[in-house]
């Protein structure tokens, strides 16, 4: 048991922080918000190629570096610090998590290889128009008619879907009177798929809505895959929480630094208990998030070595990080606005960007209440003896 | 980064779990699962002696002082298994977790030889002489004073003053007393850390009945009480550093044992909710889940803190720990009472006997006060971890 970073992990963090700080400052971010892509393609090229972050936690057999979820969490945290809007989370954190839960096969590995090299960007499509994610919310349907397999339906809130060239799509499998789930990969250019960019309250990272109408060309990765979709989403939640950790820490640091400099009544405002106590509470949230995220990342690495043994623990870890990091980030970002006062409410200042990102990620892959209810189920509360 | 224990460590777990189970199902079944700090005290002192004789009391200490030189992982495992077995809270914890480590770390050989084995064996019990009527959060405002006297018994400290909120003083053989030994000093300067025998004429212990009806803490009066000159830990006048060092030990391995206790408490609440049907109430379900999230995260934080402690000193994140668990447990107490519902208000026996959940509800109100209130903890986090300016003082 050694629950701290190794030297190598520290090195990854230091270089990731240095790179993101230098290349993705606030000005760059605001500039990227105005672009059609929502991010700088050249920077993405460096991240995927030179830095190799896209292949960081992928197996060497598909051209990855063979590192684990902890290392991926480290870079996701660092890109979260600067609210990076490129598809690192979407492709390497979300879509990849589901792909890795699909059975190893040539078709899957070919997709992973293209993601590892950065030649391709994938987005995860598992959410409906209400923003609900997971098996119950899958509205795209796989069926079969005289001319073969087809997919029809909708997938919403597809993060970075406007720049993806592949979609990892969960579908309801209704072939031959069957009712199950399947995972398919769809090329963005195929007929029958229309992609609509959806600018959101969080301008730093747009969504897309996919409409699938008589889509015929796709790769079926796995059928009867309810279990694999659920596990994939759980790992995706952990990736998302790692990013939330970075964002909440950054907006907390920003606020601490402001409170250390802003002078009122002849003293820096950070010397007033009304301010410093709130900062202390924010630090408790951030540190708890850090413990939770890296523990959960370790659980993923163990789960991938022995899926049967760690299934339950993965489900628990995934729910708890999503609960804590979503609620925590929102809380910290909200307090950041409050402690900054008027300037925190302006467009020019970055607090608003963090607040909006907090809300976007709060909703993504399920709001905390949904995951608390999952935990309640895991705690056995459904076996209550008496009806209330 | 590695969160699993090795096969060898798991074997150690099985060994200590088996021993603890044997004790709690056999000779000590009558004190299993006791929540009150003072209930069946005599039996619990016996339990301390059995732990000591079997060398399970202070496994992290060196072998020659009654420990097992256990690794950090082993200490973590034992702490977890201890709580899992339902073994009661340690009446000896002020000796094993505070006085002992302080003497081990800051004491000299003479003090180590004199004090450590009796603590380890459960032969001598300790209490903590910190707070005073006018030195609560402002601990360095202590007025209890001691002067060095040369008499027929050699050089001795003579102590006068009063301590308050002194837990378990009624069972203690010794007290570590923070007192002023230099006339005219104020604040942290001029304070010494003395080890004072409790069973003597100059020491009077008066129990204070608390919110739960128990009298776990006390007033302790020193009226010409004496101790040997060599029973001063650290140099005379430099005891503040030692006193603060003791507090750092409170953030050690014992936090994990404490969490297992919390886990047992949450499990009782879950069981009660399932039994009375409140487990179907969506709001109660949300709160139970939230409590569970907090509990798990505390465990991860403690493991992280301890892992870091093995590689050097505690990180600044350790400063947030007390604030985190105390706030969490107070909420747990409220949840316990909401799950218990109105029946939880009713006493279950004479002499103000309360069921477990209502007892927890009341007791948890202390968590955000003792060992540094939440308000003081927030100052500590803000000033030491975040580097914000210190509070202005009115007196110096």
Q: Could you tell me the CATH number of the domain that includes residue A365?
A: 1.20.140.10
Per-residue confidence (pLDDT) for residue B92, from 0 to 100: 93
Interface size between A and B, measured as CB pairs under 8 A: 183
Whether A322 is covered by a domain: the verdict is: yes
Q: Are residues A268 and A352 in the same domain?
A: yes
Q: Which fold has domain B251-385?
A: Butyryl-CoA Dehydrogenase, subunit A; domain 3 (1.20.140)
In chain B, positions 172-211, which contact chain A (CB-CB < 8 Å)? none
pLDDT at B396: 61
Contact A379 B270 (CB under 8 A): yes
Sign of CA dihedral B157, B158, B161, B167: positive
Please report whether residue A261 resides in a domain.
yes
Calpha distance A93→B183 (Å, rounded): 64
All residues of chain A having their beta carbon less than 8 Å from the beta carbon of residue B3 are 1, 3, 295, 298-299, 302
Q: Is B392 helix (H, G, I), strand (E, B) or coil?
A: coil
Residues A256 and A359 in one domain: yes
CA distance linking residue A69 with residue A293, whole number of Å: 10
Residue A263 to chain B, least CA–CA distance (Å): 12
Q: Chain B 307-336, CB below 8 Å of chain A: which residues?
A: 307-308, 310-311, 317, 320, 323-324, 327
Residue B76 is predicted with a pLDDT of: 86
Q: Which two tokens stand for residue A153?
A: 């339906």
Look at the pTM and tell me if it is higher than 0.90. yes
Residues A94 and A142 in one domain: no
The residues of B annotated with a catalytic role in the active site are: 250
ipTM of the shown complex: 0.95
Q: For residue B318, what pLDDT is reported?
A: 86
A260 falls within a domain: yes
For the structural domain made of B126-236, what CATH number should be given? 2.40.110.10
Nearest C-alpha in B relative to A71: B1
pLDDT at B247: 79
Q: Which residue has the tokens 């990227």?
A: A32
For B331-355, the pLDDT digits (tens) are 999 999 999 999 999 999 988 999 9
A-chain residues within 8 Å CB-CB of B388? 256, 259-260, 268, 270-271, 276, 279
Minimum CA–CA partner of B324 in chain A:
A284
pLDDT above 70 covers what percent of chain B?
98
The pLDDT value recorded for residue B207 is 96
Q: Taking CA atoms, what residue in B is nearest to A10?
A: B1
**Residues A43 and A29: beta-carbon distance below 8 Å:** no
How would you label A220-259 residue by residue, b for 16+ Cβ within 10 Å and e otherwise?
A: bbbeebeebbbbbbbbbbbbbbbbbbbbbbbbbebbbebb
pLDDT higher than threshold 60 for residue B256:
yes
What residues in chain A have per-residue pLDDT under 50?
Answer: 388
At residue A388, the pLDDT reads 44
On whether the CB atoms of residues A273 and A280 are closer than 8 A, the answer is no
Which residues sit opposite A27 in a β-bridge?
A: none
- Residue A165 belongs to a domain with what CATH number? 2.40.110.10
| Residue A106 is assigned to a structural domain of this protein | no
CA-closest candidate to residue B300, choices A373, A4, A232:
A4
Rounded-to-integer distance, Cα B178 and Cα B220, Å: 13
Q: Which residues of B touch A70 (CB under 8 A)?
A: 1
Choose from B80, B253, B297 for mutation: most chain A CBs within 10 A: B297
Number of domains into which chain A is organized: 3
Q: Which domain holds residue A74?
A: 7-101+111-119
Mean pLDDT within B26-48 = 89
- Report the percent of chain B where pLDDT is more than 90: 78
**Going by DSSP bridges, is the β-strand pair B191-197/B232-233 parallel, antiparallel, or unpaired?**
antiparallel
Q: What are the tens digits of pLDDT across the range B232-246?
A: 999 999 999 999 988
Using pLDDT thresholds of 50, 70 and 90, give the confidence band for residue B35.
Answer: confident
Identify the domain boundary among A189, A223, A257: A223
Provide the pLDDT for residue B313. Answer: 64
**How many CB atoms within 10 Å of residue A328?**
26
CB A316 within 8 A of CB A298: no
HEC readout, A298-363? HHHHHHHHCHHHHHHHHHHHHHHHHHHHHHHHHHHHHHHHHHHHHHHHCCCCCHHHHHHHHHHHHH
Model pLDDT for residues A194-250, shown as the tens digit of each residue:
999 998 999 999 999 999 999 999 999 998 889 999 999 999 999 999 999 999 999
Please report whether residue A359 resides in a domain. yes
Cα distance between residue B38 and residue A366, in whole Å: 46
A259 and A333 inside one domain: yes
Instruction: For residue A284, give the nearest of B9, B323, B392 by CB distance.
Output: B323
The domain boundary, picked from A183, A199, A223, lies at A223
- Judged by a CB distance cut-off of 8 A, whether residue B285 touches chain A is yes
Q: Which member of B277, B289, B307 has the closest CB to residue A4?
A: B307
Residues A263 and A197 in one domain: no
For residue A388, being part of any structural domain is answered with: no
Task: Let me know if residue A56 belongs to a domain.
Answer: yes
Overall average pLDDT of the B127-135 stretch: 96
Can you give the C-alpha Rg of chain B in angstroms?
21
Q: Chain A residue closest to B386 (CA)?
A: A256
Q: Which CATH number covers residue A75? A: 1.10.540.10
Domain residue ranges in chain B: 7-91, 126-236, 251-385
| In a shared domain, residues A218 and A233 | no
Assess whether A177 and A199 both reside in one domain: yes
| Judgement on whether residues A194 and A236 belong to the same structural domain of the protein | no
Which residue, B178, B188, B84, is CA-closest to B130? Answer: B178
**In chain B, whose CA is at the least distance from the CA of A74?**
B1
Please count the helices (runs of H) and the strands (runs of E) in chain B: 12, 8
Q: Name which CATH class applies to B7-91.
A: mainly alpha
CB-based contact (8 Å) between A263 and chain B? no
Sequence-distant (≥ 6) Cβ neighbours of residue B22 within 8 angstroms: none
Q: For chain A, positions 218-247, list CB contacts with chain B under 8 A.
A: none
Do A32 and A148 lie in a common domain?
no
What CA–CA distance (Å, rounded) separates A97 from B274?
35
Cα B288 off chain centre by: 26
A270, A287, A371 ranked by CB distance to B301: nearest: A287
A328 at the B interface (CB within 8 A)? no
In whole angstroms, give the CA distance from residue A324 to residue A315. 14
Place of tokens 């301890």: B306
Question: Token digits for B329?
Answer: 């447990």
Which chain B positions have a beta carbon within 8 Å of A324's beta carbon? 293, 297
3-state helix, strand, coil in chain A (%, to 5): 55, 15, 25
Task: Name the 3-class secondary structure at B229.
Answer: coil
With a cut of 80, say whether residue B75 has pLDDT above it.
Answer: yes
Closest CA to B97 of B255, B220, B215: B255
On whether both A257 and A359 belong to a single domain, the answer is yes
Confirm whether A299 is domain-assigned. Answer: yes
């Amino acid at each position: 048991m050694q629950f701290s970073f190794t030297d190598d992990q520290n090195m990854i963090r230091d270089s990731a922080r240095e790179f993101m700080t230098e290349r993705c400052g606030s000005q760059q971010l605001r500039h990227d918000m105005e672009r059609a892509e929502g991010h700088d393609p050249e920077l993405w090229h460096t991240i995927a190629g030179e830095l190799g972050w896209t292949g960081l936690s992928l197996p060497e057999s598909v051209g990855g570096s063979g590192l684990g979820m902890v290392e991926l969490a480290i870079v996701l945290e660092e890109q979260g610090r600067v609210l990076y809007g490129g598809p690192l989370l979407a492709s390497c954190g979300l879509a990849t998590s589901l792909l890795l839960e699909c059975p190893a096969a040539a078709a899957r590995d070919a997709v992973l290889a293209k993601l590892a090299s950065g030649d391709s960007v994938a987005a995860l499509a598992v959410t409906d128009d209400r923003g609900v994610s997971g098996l119950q919310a899958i509205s795209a349907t796989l069926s079969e008619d005289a001319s073969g397999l087809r997919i029809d339906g909708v997938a919403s809130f597809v993060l970075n879907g406007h720049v993806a060239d592949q979609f990892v799509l969960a579908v309801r499998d209704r072939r031959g009177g069957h009712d199950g789930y399947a995972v398919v990969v769809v090329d963005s250019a195929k007929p029958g798929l229309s992609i609509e960019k959806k600018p959101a309250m969080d301008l730093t990272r747009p969504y897309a809505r996919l409409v699938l109408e008589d889509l015929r060309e796709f790769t079926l990765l796995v059928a009867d895959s309810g279990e694999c979709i659920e596990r994939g989403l759980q790992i995706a939640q952990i990736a998302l929480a790692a990013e939330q950790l970075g964002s909440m820490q950054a907006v907390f640091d920003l606020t601490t630094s402001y409170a250390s400099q802003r002078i009122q009544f002849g003293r820096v405002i950070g010397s007033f208990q009304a301010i410093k106590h709130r900062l202390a509470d924010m630090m408790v949230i951030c540190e708890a998030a850090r413990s939770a995220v890296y523990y959960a990342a370790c659980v993923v690495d163990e789960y991938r070595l022995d899926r049967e043994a760690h299934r339950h623990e993965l489900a628990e870890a995934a729910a708890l990080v999503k609960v804590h990091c979503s609620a925590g980030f929102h809380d910290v970002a909200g307090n950041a606005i409050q402690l900054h006062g008027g300037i925190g409410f302006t467009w020019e200042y970055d607090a608003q960007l963090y607040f909006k990102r907090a809300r976007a990620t709060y909703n993504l892959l399920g709001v905390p209440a949904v995951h608390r209810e999952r935990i309640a189920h895991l705690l056995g509360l459904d076996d209550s003896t008496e009806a209330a | 980064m590695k969160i699993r224990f090795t096969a060898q460590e798991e074997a150690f777990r099985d060994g200590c779990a088996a021993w603890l189970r044997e004790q709690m199902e056999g000779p000590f079944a009558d004190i299993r699962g006791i929540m009150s700090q003072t209930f069946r005290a005599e039996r619990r002192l016996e339990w301390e002696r059995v732990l000591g004789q079997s060398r399970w009391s202070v496994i992290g200490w060196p072998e020659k002082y009654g420990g097992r030189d256990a690794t950090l992982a082993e200490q973590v495992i034992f702490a977890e298994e201890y709580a899992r077995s339902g073994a009661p809270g340690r009446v000896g914890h002020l000796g094993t977790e505070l006085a002992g480590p302080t003497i081990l770390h800051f004491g000299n050989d003479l003090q180590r030889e004199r004090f450590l084995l009796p603590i380890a064996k459960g032969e001598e019990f300790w209490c903590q002489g910190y707070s005073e009527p006018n030195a609560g959060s402002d601990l360095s405002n202590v007025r209890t004073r001691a002067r060095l006297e040369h008499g027929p018994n050699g050089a001795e400290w003579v102590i006068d003053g009063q301590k308050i909120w002194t837990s378990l003083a009624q069972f203690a053989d010794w007290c570590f007393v923070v007192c002023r030994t230099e006339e005219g000093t104020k604040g942290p300067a001029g304070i010494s850390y003395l080890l004072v025998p409790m069973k003597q004429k100059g020491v009077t212990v008066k129990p204070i009945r608390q919110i739960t009806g128990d009298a776990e803490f006390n007033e302790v009066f020193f009226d010409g009480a004496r101790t040997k000159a060599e029973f001063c830990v650290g140099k005379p006048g430099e005891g503040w550093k030692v006193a603060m060092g003791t507090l750092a030990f409170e953030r050690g391995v014992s936090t994990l044992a404490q969490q297992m206790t919390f886990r047992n408490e949450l499990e009782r609440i879950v069981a009660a909710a399932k039994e009375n049907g409140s487990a179907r109430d969506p709001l109660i379900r949300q709160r139970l889940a939230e409590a569970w999230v907090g509990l798990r995260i505390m465990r991860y934080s403690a493991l992280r803190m301890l892992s870091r402690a093995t590689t050097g000193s505690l990180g600044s994140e350790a400063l947030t720990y007390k604030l985190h668990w105390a706030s969490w447990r107070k909420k747990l107490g409220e949840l316990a009472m909401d799950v218990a519902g109105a029946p939880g208000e009713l006493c279950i026996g004479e002499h103000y006997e309360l069921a477990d959940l209502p007892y927890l509800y009341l007791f948890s109100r202390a968590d955000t006060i003792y060992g540094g209130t939440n308000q003081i903890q927030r100052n500590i986090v803000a000033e030491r971890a975040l580097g914000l300016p210190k509070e202005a003082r009115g007196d110096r």
